[in-house]
Amino acid sequence: MTAKPTTSVSTHVLDTAAGRPAEGVAVELSARSGADGPWSACGASATDADGRCTDLPAPPAGTTHVRLRFDVAQRTAFFPEVAVAFAVAPGEHHHVPLLLSPFGYSVYRGS
């Protein structure tokens, strides 16, 4: 019996106003199956000194969408949190960085 490929997710946060990685940002990973399914929390972590969060748990089998919720209240008074939802495919790694500034943010699919 062959195991199904595992989906994996990682992220990093860059503080563009300070020009450096954002250390200590709490990140929660939630997953769902189907566009209308309920979100289920899978686990959490925090960014390291390089702003990276590489130890998030793998989403459960059958996951079609993942949501990363970043607690950025200590970094910006305007955004208490940033939530990013995206589609995932089995067996693929998804790296989704957050570029944060005081009054804006940007995300993209990295490598």
Mean pLDDT, range 58-77, rounded to an integer: 95
Mean pLDDT, range 87-104, rounded to an integer: 95
Residue 51, both tokens: 């702003």
pLDDT, residue 48, reads: 98
pLDDT classification of 9: cutoffs 50, 70, 90: very high
Answer yes or no: are the C-beta atoms of 110 and 96 closer than 8 Å: yes
pLDDT classification of 54: cutoffs 50, 70, 90: confident
d(CA 41, CA 23): 22
pLDDT, residue 95, reads: 96
pLDDT, residue 76, reads: 87
d(CA 108, CA 98): 7
The answer to the question of residue 3 being in a domain is no
Mean pLDDT, range 19-42, rounded to an integer: 96
Q: State the first-to-last Cα distance of the chain, in angstroms, to the nearest integer.
A: 30
- The pTM assigned to this predicted structure is 0.92
d(CA 110, CA 53): 13
- Mean pLDDT rounded to a whole number for the chain: 94
pLDDT, residue 78, reads: 95
d(CA 86, CA 75): 23
Count up the domains in the chain and report the number.
1
The answer to the question of residue 2 being in a domain is no
| CATH number of the domain within which 67 lies | 2.60.40.180
Q: What range defines the domain where residue 94 resides? A: 8-107
Torsion angle defined by CA atoms of residues 39, 13, 92 and 55, in that order, rounded to the nearest 10 degrees: -80
The answer to the question of residue 16 being in a domain is yes
The answer to the question of residue 21 being in a domain is yes
pLDDT, residue 2, reads: 56
